[in-house]
Amino acid sequence: MNRQITDEMTGIGYILQDGYYLPDLALLAEREQPIGIWGQRRRRYLKEHHRILYYNLLTACKLSEHLADVDRQAEELFSRLVKQMAEREGVTKTIKAQDSMAWVGRMNSIRSRATEIVNSELIYS
């Protein structure tokens, strides 16, 4: 009995294991990319709410690329929103020097609103 056989029609190889021929399939190696908090949130959202898209990206070896791209876009949007909101609301370094607790409170409010916008626009859509 041959240990390995190949189907001539499909070109798929089979390996003998425990008396059964099992397909010799392997996923392509996916390039590892750093994924930050935004990418992790997107992965969790896709896995829980859009399983088909998640597994399509995973099996096509494009999940890491997608998550890294979303993470980069989300970080850029978040930084831009925080900067614009702080300028519009007059949160400056002089306020930080005069009353640091008020500055921290206002910046936390701005960061919270920017997080909600990024989540609704990029992560959970």
Report the first-to-last Cα separation within the chain, whole angstroms.
53
pLDDT 10s per residue in the chain (125 long)?
Answer: 678 888 888 888 888 888 888 888 776 666 778 899 999 999 999 999 999 999 999 988 899 999 999 999 999 999 999 999 999 999 999 999 999 999 999 999 999 999 999 999 999 98
Concatenated DSSP letters of 35-95: --HHHHHHHHHHHHH-HHHHHHHHHTT-HHHHHHHHHHHHHHHHHHHHHHHHHHTT--HHH
pTM of the model: 0.75
pLDDT for 3: 82
